[in-house]
Structure 1
């Protein structure tokens, strides 16, 4: 067994690896950027080495510094986690060349599956069904447009080196293709350094089904059943579950066998995931499930597989990397119950899911739920890395039990002042269609209006806030301020301020409501409250033409000039933060009177970027 392990990653996955390594008696070494020096994963490792400044390109992506840290600390092996360099064949080869153990897929397997077009060609040769599309070398816009026209819309443009929902654009009509192709290539270049794309037929009722596979150096390959990751927003997974709803034994056998064939076709070793797209319009059927791609690493959603199989997949990785055979044969693996995982993000659904950064003055989770998190109360969410705060993982005897537990876990999550999608997750997990298993990748888009909590506090929030500002009931009604009236039920009204607005409401006891330091937590939401201020002033007026940065981020494109005439809805700027692009539009017809945005500049939230004056044109 490996004796010492350097973890070339950060946050939640680093902590996850440390937990298993400690149980196995393996010494762990953390690497970190300067802004991560006080993160939990750094404290929990046996040793820690700073490898650079906040930008990942200056730290977590610096192969030379990672290898130097391994030499300095006497590490025997390197585990890349997921993201960053986990699927980088060059780094994997460099680790092996340095005489270290690479806890990941062989470099040749990473290369074989790293480019989606080449991977599909290999799968076709292995007899694995693939989605219809164009994989050609001719990348001219004219050829790509012609191929998309021939396939028939809608189509999906995908960066061949893509992953994590990046470098993907759905095109509904021929007239939109050129603009979306350019956007896709720009994102692909920034994220992966490769602008090549492929075109796929877009499945109208798509289900995202993936199979966990594992191989060892003794020629054994097994699957650990499937996961359903259909609940997505902008191609990024939100809720994952295992097993897949509606999966019968025959279809499971066909899909899982195809996944094993795919892994064997590239001589796979370690943890991997074969991703399939399924046409769910008539339920899951073996002849309507197609290979999409392979992730040659551990997945973010691996805990749901651990929950239904009772296996520790990180332990499997470490044992396989140490040269041991797989811990279980295929006939020793089975499914028990149902598991679900929700990704708690630092984002505000009420503002179009814009990232939210800042201190975590409060971060509490309900008991009885597995929480995999990279941060702790008192820490902070920075703008430099992925916005995921934690994964909420539940397990139940049935799917309905798991869904109910997940909804309760999201409702009971308390985060402040960073905004999160907790209430959004709770509503999604409790939605009748989700509970009934009627899920596909369009679920969130269809139900967005009902999943996003209203901007105004609900009557329950107001009642709970009013109750919280009243003093406790005393035995003496004359000293109580709760509106005592002889022979009548007390029903006072209280002036309370919630989220900066005044309300006159009656207090009430609301199950599940909790308060701390002037913040009310209810159903996954957080509301600052207090006694109404006498000097309360309403919000500023709208329509002044000031376009402010809605989030901290980097200006990656300035599309207008000072003095230019613009029309309402015209794209003026593009911001990027936490792996997400946000276009800023002109609020009305007018002229660019002031332009402060500079391409490449980092701007905080609320910065004035452009001011539009109403005028001719």
Structure 2
């Protein structure tokens, strides 16, 4: 087979954040000029300054910016781009966009449009899998509006089952159903999400293996008929059907199973005539050794770095090579797996609050650089975690000779990572990596359901130490700026007194006020601090006190702490093992407290209203879902805090609402009003 090669001189990356930066890095190493596109909120994003050229495409939401392919093609034309790399998400699996690139004479760095289209619909993908003799699970496609037919189809598939949008991905448009009574609502929600996110409301039901593992095989095909796999990744630890941690190789896949899974994945590649990078995903039942096709992702995966770390291959470079029409340049026997790699996704989210996104100001983001570590940073500080996009801050990858070595290296890296301004899953990830069951390889898809304690792990450093650091350095700053007493040593008071100073603090991520009374005093050449909280007294001895650091001895242990104070008044404290944020008590009422007087729910973060489940005059009960707001690619239901009657609906479907907006106004039930 003769295939003409196409040079790529200038590459436009139709994406943002860490994947855009990742593609730019390889392109630059290959001598290819790069072009970034950016939305209005991303004007100062690092991917913009990383690229050789950048083109603003306006808009704020994805629909107004990174999904507007006419703007992206215009940017490619104006910058002379030969090729477009779509990254993942957005337009990466959009067959129409791939066709538009071809029509414009621009190389689309990905598979051909037909492959994208066939694999993009999960029901069609399963038909192709059957043709390639890949094992599949029992399923049923849902059509029409007959809810009785929905429940009958569910009964035939069996419980538990998953409802999946046929055009979905990344855990979107998916619902787990364990009881027949929940089928209709789950299907309706998945159809709505599929329509809103992917423009396709069709869903199907699939039997759910509750004690399985999520295993995926990285595949590549070229235009010369070559096809290989690069081993497996295990992605079983998930929240909301979205991956939290990925690793290669899997701790349970043997060489024999790897060969069999890889062979079926390559068979599917050959059946499709697939070109470029792809991932064939399976459920693996480690009690029987059976594996079953889930879907094929026709793009580079978020977790591709772990495959790169254990194979030594640059997958972006391979994508560009195949897109130019060149051969892969190696055979299956050349692929070797060396050591173990683990990736975690550092998110601006609160695991203890059902993984709610936490958009806001990112004051600081710094991490340690050590051997065996790799960071794929999407943002830099100071900046804003936008509510318009996925709240990922970075991917952090560790590679070691063994799985435990990689896990401990990665956990230590998280300990040393400073993320100030927003609540993140940093502590959760570090606790996960050190969990005995994780280290033992017991990582099925229900892992987090059986380990809820990991969602809100206790600090390794006692929390009073960090409060003491905030109080002590704050006092030092005030004294340093005081022209009268600025030269006095820490702890000096103009009057001999044991009077306690009162302050109210909030820990980041916790709305409960913490009333603290403290006394800072010095004698005999040392500084002592006493803090009383809830009638419990905590004593500390301080040394090396400055305006931004202090060594605190508490209960016989020294804790060197570094402290940062930001313009919003927040104080963030780090030591070798822990991080905490502290906020002085607000002087104004919380907006939620004001909104509560209307007996109506408020949305926690900015987003778009996608569903209203009540109408004026309806009686509602506490906990009932009233409105659904979509933000950061997730649906967030707003529920009634108490029984009541809907007096007014303040929003409409499709409306963008700011945080703390009162969505529905409720009044007390009639019997309470009389």
- TM-score above 0.5, yes or no: yes
| 2:505 aligned residue | none
- State the 1:541 CA deviation: 10
Cα distance, 1:590–1:478 mapped onto 2, change above 3 Å: closer
Comparing 557-566 with 17-26, greater Cα deviation is found at 557-566
Does 2:468 align with 1:466?
yes
Does 2:152 align with 1:99?
no
Give unmatched runs, 5+ long, in structure 2.
1-6, 477-486, 494-518, 541-551, 566-570
| 2:309 aligned residue | 307
| 2:574 aligned residue | 521
| 2:644 aligned residue | 590
- State the 1:268 CA deviation: 1.0
- State the 1:486 CA deviation: 6.9
| 1:69 aligned residue | 75
Does 2:606 align with 1:552?
yes
Instruction: Please point out which of 629, 636, 643 is paired with 1:575.
Output: 629
Comparing 59-68 with 307-316, greater Cα deviation is found at 59-68
Alpha-carbon contact 1:139-1:196 (below 8 Å) kept: no
Alpha-carbon contact 2:630-2:636 (below 8 Å) kept: yes
Residues 123-272 of structure 1 aligned to structure 2 (within 5 Å) = 123-135=129-141, 140-272=146-278
Alpha-carbon contact 1:227-1:305 (below 8 Å) kept: yes
Instruction: Please point out which of 410, 413, 418 is paired with 2:417.
Output: 413
Cα distance, 1:147–1:43 mapped onto 2, change above 3 Å: same
Alpha-carbon contact 2:142-2:203 (below 8 Å) kept: no
Does 2:437 align with 1:433?
yes
Q: Separation in 2 of the partners of 1:313 and 1:502?
A: 59
Q: Separation in 2 of the partners of 1:446 and 1:394?
A: 25
Does 2:32 align with 1:26?
yes
Task: For residue 57 of structure 1, give the secondary structure of its aligned residue in structure 2.
Answer: helix
Does 2:331 align with 1:342?
no
Q: Separation in 2 of the partners of 1:438 and 1:10?
A: 35
Measured against aligned partners, the alpha-carbon deviations of 1:173-206 in whole angstroms (never above 9, x if no partner) come to 1111111111110001111111112211110202
Q: Separation in 2 of the partners of 1:150 and 1:536?
A: 56
Give unmatched runs, 5+ long, in structure 1.
none
- State the 1:492 CA deviation: 4.0
Task: For residue 316 of structure 1, give the secondary structure of its aligned residue in structure 2.
Answer: helix
Alpha-carbon contact 1:415-1:526 (below 8 Å) kept: no
Residues 499-514 of structure 1 aligned to structure 2 (within 5 Å) = 505-507=538-540, 508-509=552-553, 511=559, 513-514=561-562
Task: For residue 412 of structure 2, give the secondary structure of its aligned residue in structure 1.
Answer: helix
Larger Rg: 2
Cα distance, 1:478–1:343 mapped onto 2, change above 3 Å: closer
- State the 1:138 CA deviation: 6.9
- State the 1:449 CA deviation: 3.6
Instruction: Please point out which of 601, 610, 616 is paired with 2:664.
Output: 610
Normalising by the residue count of structure 2, what TM-score does the alignment of the two structures yield? 0.83
Q: Separation in 2 of the partners of 1:266 and 1:133?
A: 22
Does 2:505 align with 1:451?
no
- State the 1:610 CA deviation: 3.4
| 2:547 aligned residue | none
Q: Separation in 2 of the partners of 1:104 and 1:232?
A: 27
Q: Separation in 2 of the partners of 1:479 and 1:11?
A: 49
- State the 1:608 CA deviation: 2.7
Alpha-carbon contact 2:150-2:183 (below 8 Å) kept: no
Residues 8-47 of structure 1 aligned to structure 2 (within 5 Å) = 8-47=14-53
Q: How many residues align?
A: 603
- State the 1:141 CA deviation: 3.7
Measured against aligned partners, the alpha-carbon deviations of 1:354-410 in whole angstroms (never above 9, x if no partner) come to 221122211112222311122101121111111111111111111111111222222
Instruction: Please point out which of 493, 500, 515 is paired with 2:530.
Output: 493
Q: Separation in 2 of the partners of 1:52 and 1:479?
A: 56
Task: For residue 8 of structure 2, give the secondary structure of its aligned residue in structure 1.
Answer: coil
Task: For residue 99 of structure 1, give the secondary structure of its aligned residue in structure 2.
Answer: coil
- State the 1:126 CA deviation: 1.3
- State the 1:111 CA deviation: 1.9
Task: For residue 505 of structure 1, give the secondary structure of its aligned residue in structure 2.
Answer: strand
| 2:399 aligned residue | 395
| 1:273 aligned residue | 279
Measured against aligned partners, the alpha-carbon deviations of 1:582-616 in whole angstroms (never above 9, x if no partner) come to 11111122234554334333222223333444444
Measured against aligned partners, the alpha-carbon deviations of 1:116-171 in whole angstroms (never above 9, x if no partner) come to 11111111111111112224767754333212102221111111111110111111
Q: Separation in 2 of the partners of 1:335 and 1:502?
A: 58
Does 2:437 align with 1:384?
no
- State the 1:540 CA deviation: 6.2
Cα distance, 1:320–1:524 mapped onto 2, change above 3 Å: farther
Comparing 111-120 with 224-233, greater Cα deviation is found at 111-120
Cα distance, 1:376–1:401 mapped onto 2, change above 3 Å: same
| 1:374 aligned residue | 378
Superposed CA RMSD = 2.9
